[in-house]
Amino acid sequence: MEEAGIVFFLLQFFLLHFLKIDAVELDTISRSRFLTDGDTLVSPTGIFKLGFFQTGSSEHRYLGISYKKIPVTTVVWVANRNHPLMGASPHVLKIDSPGNLLLSNNISMIWSSNTTTASGNVTATLRDTGNLVLMDQNHKVLWQSFDYPTDTLLPGMKLGYDYLRGIEWHLTSWKSIQDPALGKLTWGSDTKNYPESKLKQGKMVKFRGGPWKNTRIPGGSQFQRNLTTELSVVITEREVSFSYNLDNSSFLPRVTLNSSGQLESWMWVEDGKKWQLAMSLPIDVCDTYSICSAYGICRLNRFGQSCGCLDEKRFVPRNQKSWETGDWSGGCVRRTPLACKNGSEGFIKYSDIKLPDTKSTWFNMSMSLEECEAKCLMNCTCMAYANPDVSLQGRGCLLWLNDLIDIRAYSEGNGGQDIFVRMASSDLSNDLFLMQLLFHYAYMPSN
Ligand SMILES: *[C@@H]1O[C@H](CO)[C@@H](O)[C@H](O)[C@H]1NC(C)=O
Ligand SMILES: *[C@@H]1O[C@H](CO)[C@@H](O)[C@H](O)[C@H]1NC(C)=O
Ligand SMILES: *[C@@H]1O[C@H](CO)[C@@H](O)[C@H](O)[C@H]1NC(C)=O
Ligand SMILES: *[C@@H]1O[C@H](CO)[C@@H](O)[C@H](O)[C@H]1NC(C)=O
Ligand SMILES: *[C@@H]1O[C@H](CO)[C@@H](O)[C@H](O)[C@H]1NC(C)=O
Ligand SMILES: *[C@@H]1O[C@H](CO)[C@@H](O)[C@H](O)[C@H]1NC(C)=O
Ligand SMILES: *[C@@H]1O[C@H](CO)[C@@H](O)[C@H](O)[C@H]1NC(C)=O
Ligand SMILES: *[C@@H]1O[C@H](CO)[C@@H](O)[C@H](O)[C@H]1NC(C)=O
Ligand SMILES: *[C@@H]1O[C@H](CO)[C@@H](O)[C@H](O)[C@H]1NC(C)=O
C-alpha cells in the first residue's frame, strides 16, 4: 500500500512537472491555483484572457490582458509595464498569504497588487468586461485592473477621480509600439474644476476633449451606422468620472492612446477579421491646443485652418500686425474693455463652438441658466457662462473666471455648444454692425 502511494505520487509529480504540454485555462486564481507561463486565466464567456506575452523580438515578457476570442493579439492591459520578466526564467502569478496578487520570477517579486490588508480566501477572476478582479471570500473587491488603466479604455472603465479612495484614472501611452513601459503621453482629467479630458505630453497640453457631458452618439461610418455610443459622466463629492458604452458589445470597442499621441477608437469587424478605426483624435489642426489663443476661434476652410477673433465686431487682435502674418499668439481683446459697473454689462451668445478650457472655472450643476447668468454678472472675474451638459433637464452652470482659450467652431449639429460671453453694454446690440456701417457711410465723402 505504502509503495503504491509513493509510485502514485511520483507519477503525479512527473505528469505535473514534465508532461505539461497543454497550456492550462483557469477560471480562478487562488492560494492553491497559480498561473505560470503558457497558462491563461479566462473570462466566463471567453472574451478576454490574462496571460504572459512578448512583444516584438525582445526577450522581455509581460503579464497582460488581451482578447481570447479574436485571432489578432491585442493587449488591453499590462501589469508589469516597467518591470519586464527577463529571459526564460520561470515565473508565476499567485496569491500570497497576506492576500496580494503577486508576480514573481524564481528570485524576486516583479509586480504586486499591494493589497496586504486582506484575509481569508482571496481569489482573482477575469470578468467579461476585461476587468481583472481580486476578491475576498465575501466577494468584496480588494483590487481591480480597471482602477489602473494602461493605454486602453474599455467600455465601463473610468477616467477621472475617485476622491474617497484617492485614485486617479487616466491612460498612459506605451513607450513605443513594441514597449509597454510608461510613455510620455497621458489622457485624463487634470483639474478639480469642471472635468474635461486633456491629452498631455509631460506637463504640456496637446489636445483637449472639451467639457464632459452625458450624451448619445449615433454611429457615423457605414459599418457602425446602427451603433450608438453612450457617454456617462458622474460628478459628485465622491467621484468625478467619465465612461462609455456601446449598445452592441460584439464589436469589442476600445479606445487607445497610442505612442505617437493619437487617441484611436477601434471596433472589431468579424467579417474582415480585423480592427477597424472608427475615429482618431485630434482630428485636424484646429484641435491643436490653444492655437488661436485667448478669444480666438479656429475655423476650417478650403485652404486649411484660420484663426479669427470670436466675433470680428466686438473683438480685435491684441497685436494686429503679427495677427496678419499668422502669429496668433497674442489672441484677441474686447473692442470695449469691461468696466464691471453694476448694470452696465450683459452677454452675447455664441453657438456651435467647442467650449473653452475649464482650467479656471466654477460650476454648480443644480443651477438654472438664469441663475447662472445672474451669478456670472455679479462677479467681475466671470467672463462667460454656459450649460456644459444639456442632458440634465436644463440645469447646469459653468462659469469661466479667466480669459477664454482653445475655442473652435463646429459646423451646425456637429457637437458644438452655446456659450454666453460677457460684454460691455455698448457692445450688446446685435445691430452693432449695421450701426458701424451707417457711421462709415455717414462720414464718407460723397462723390
Ligand atoms: C532561477 O532561474 C535561473 C534561470 O532559469 C537559474 O539559473 C537559477 O538557478 C534559478 N535560481 C533559483 C534560486 O532557483
Ligand atoms: C506596490 O508597492 C511597491 C513598493 O512600494 C511599488 O514599487 C509598486 O509600484 C506597487 N505596485 C503597484 C501595482 O502599485
Ligand atoms: C477558495 O476559493 C476557491 C474559489 O472559490 C475555491 O476553489 C477554494 O476551494 C477555496 N479555498 C478555501 C480554502 O476555502
Ligand atoms: C440597421 O438597422 C436597420 C433598421 O433597424 C436595418 O434594416 C439594417 O439592416 C441595419 N444594418 C446593419 C448593418 O445592421
Ligand atoms: C450586434 O451586431 C452583430 C453584428 O452586426 C449582430 O449580429 C447582432 O445581432 C447585434 N446585436 C444586437 C443586440 O443588436
Ligand atoms: C497612432 O495613431 C495614428 C492615427 O490613427 C496613426 O497614424 C499612427 O501611425 C499611430 N501611431 C502608432 C505608433 O501606432
Ligand atoms: C446692482 O444693481 C442691482 C439692481 O440694478 C441691485 O439689486 C444690486 O444690489 C446691485 N449690486 C451692486 C453690487 O451694487
Ligand atoms: C447650487 O445651486 C443650487 C440651486 O440654485 C443651490 O441650492 C445650492 O446651494 C448651490 N450650491 C453651491 C455650492 O453653490
Ligand atoms: C468671484 O468668483 C470667484 C470664484 O468663485 C471667487 O473666488 C471670488 O471671490 C468671486 N468674487 C466676487 C466679487 O464675488
Going by C-alpha positions, the residue among 63, 58, 68 that lies closest to residue 35 is 63
**pLDDT band at 221; cut points 50, 70, 90:** low
**pLDDT band at 142; cut points 50, 70, 90:** very high
| pLDDT tens column, 158-169 | 999 999 999 999
C-alpha distances in Å from residue 161, one per residue of 113, 239, 241: 19, 6, 6
Do residue 231 and residue 305 come from a single domain?
no
- Cβ-contact 297, 312 below 8 angstroms: no
Q: What's the CA gap between 101 and 97, in Å, rounded?
A: 10
Share of the chain above pLDDT 90, in %: 72
- The string over 354-372, giving b where at least 16 C-beta atoms fall within 10 Å of a residue's C-beta and e elsewhere, is bbbbbbbbbbebebebeeb
Do residue 267 and residue 291 come from a single domain?
no
Q: Say which range, 69-73, 84-88, 229-233, 393-397, has the weakest mean pLDDT.
A: 84-88
pLDDT of residue 97: 85
343 lines ligand 7 (CB under 6 A): yes
Going by C-alpha positions, the residue among 205, 196, 115 that lies closest to residue 388 is 196
Domain boundary among 230, 259, 282: 282
Of the two residues 23 and 148, the one the predictor is more confident about is 148
Nearest atom in ligand 1 to 107's CA: 13
DSSP string, 30-99: BTTB-EETT-EEE-TTSSEEEEEEE-TT-S-EEEEEEESSSSS--EEEESSTTSPBPTT--EEEEE-TTS
Q: Measure 214 CA to ligand 5 centroid, in angstroms.
A: 24
Q: Count structural domains, the chain.
A: 3
Do residue 10 and residue 140 come from a single domain?
yes
Q: Measure 112 CA to ligand 1 centroid, in angstroms.
A: 21
Do residue 290 and residue 439 come from a single domain?
yes
Give ∠ CA 247-250-254 in degrees, rounded to 5. 80
Q: Measure 38 CA to ligand 1 centroid, in angstroms.
A: 19
Nearest atom in ligand 3 to 28's CA: 4
264 lines ligand 6 (CB under 6 A): yes
Residue 369: what are its φ and ψ, rounded to 5°?
Answer: -65, -30
**pLDDT band at 315; cut points 50, 70, 90:** very high
Do residue 278 and residue 237 come from a single domain?
yes
> Does residue 21 have a pLDDT over 50?
no
Alpha helix stretches (DSSP H) within 225-351: 320-324
pLDDT of residue 443: 44
Mean pLDDT of the chain: 89
**pLDDT band at 10; cut points 50, 70, 90:** very low
Q: What's the CA gap between 382 and 375, in Å, rounded?
A: 9
Nearest CA to ligand 6 atom 11: 260
| pLDDT tens column, 40-50 | 999 999 999 99
The CATH number covering residue 60 comes to 2.90.10.10
Ligand 5, residues at Cβ distance < 6 Å? 248, 250
Q: Which three cell numbers stand for residue 118?
A: 486582506
pLDDT of residue 445: 42
Going by C-alpha positions, the residue among 407, 385, 389 that lies closest to residue 398 is 385
Domain boundary among 148, 177, 210: 148
> What's the number of CA atoms in the CB half-sphere (13 Å) around residue 251?
22
pTM for the predicted model, two decimal places: 0.87
pLDDT of residue 26: 95
342 lines ligand 7 (CB under 6 A): yes
pLDDT of residue 159: 98
Domain boundary among 92, 116, 148: 148
- Report the DSSP beta bridge partners of residue 278: none
| pLDDT tens column, 56-75 | 778 899 999 999 999 999 99
| pLDDT tens column, 349-396 | 999 999 999 999 999 999 999 999 999 999 999 999 999 999 988 899
- Cβ-contact 52, 36 below 8 angstroms: no
Mutate-to-test residue for ligand 1 from 36, 106, 107, highest number of ligand atoms within 8 A of CB: 106
* Structure letter (DSSP) for residue 337: -
Beta-carbon neighbour count of residue 58 at 10 Å? 12
How far, rounded to the nearest angstrom, does the alpha carbon of residue 148 sit from its chain's CA centroid? 13
Nearest atom in ligand 6 to 177's CA: 13
Ligand 1, residues at Cβ distance < 6 Å? 89, 106-107
pLDDT of residue 421: 97
Q: Which ligand is nearest to the CA of 265?
A: 6
**pLDDT band at 211; cut points 50, 70, 90:** very high
| pLDDT tens column, 279-296 | 899 999 999 999 999 999
Nearest CA to ligand 7 atom 13: 342
Q: Measure 30 CA to ligand 2 centroid, in angstroms.
A: 21
Q: Measure 85 CA to ligand 5 centroid, in angstroms.
A: 40
Q: Say which range, 34-38, 111-115, 304-308, has the weakest mean pLDDT.
A: 304-308
Residue with cell 492560494: 31
- Cβ-contact 425, 314 below 8 angstroms: no
What is the mean pLDDT of the segment spanning 116-123?
Answer: 80
Residues in the chain: 447
**pLDDT band at 13; cut points 50, 70, 90:** very low
Q: What is residue 169's three-state secondary structure?
A: strand
117 lines ligand 9 (CB under 6 A): no
379 lines ligand 9 (CB under 6 A): yes
Nearest atom in ligand 7 to 342's CA: 1
pLDDT of residue 276: 92
Do residue 69 and residue 154 come from a single domain?
no
Do residue 205 and residue 244 come from a single domain?
yes
What's the one-letter identity of residue 155? P
Q: What's the CA gap between 12 and 6, in Å, rounded?
A: 10
Give ∠ CA 322-325-330 in degrees, rounded to 5. 35
> Does residue 320 have a pLDDT over 50?
yes
Structural domain of 38:
1-148
Mutate-to-test residue for ligand 3 from 26, 123, 134, 137, highest number of ligand atoms within 8 A of CB: 123
The CATH number covering residue 363 comes to 3.50.4.10
Q: Which three cell numbers stand for residue 207?
A: 489636445
Q: Measure 108 CA to ligand 1 centroid, in angstroms.
A: 11
Q: Which ligand is nearest to the CA of 221?
A: 4
Do residue 129 and residue 249 come from a single domain?
no
Going by C-alpha positions, the residue among 89, 88, 84, 94 that lies closest to residue 107 is 89
pLDDT of residue 11: 45
401 lines ligand 9 (CB under 6 A): yes
- Cβ-contact 324, 360 below 8 angstroms: no
Share of the chain above pLDDT 70, in %: 89
Residue 181 CB-density burial (10 A; 0-12 exposed, 13-18 middle, 19+ buried): middle
Do residue 127 and residue 211 come from a single domain?
no
Ligand 8, residues at Cβ distance < 6 Å? 364, 366-367, 371
Do residue 233 and residue 330 come from a single domain?
no
Do residue 325 and residue 405 come from a single domain?
yes
Residue with cell 489622457: 187
What is the mean pLDDT of the segment spanning 209-218?
Answer: 92
Do residue 247 and residue 344 come from a single domain?
no
* Structure letter (DSSP) for residue 357: P
Q: Measure 389 CA to ligand 3 centroid, in angstroms.
A: 47
Nearest CA to ligand 8 atom 4: 367
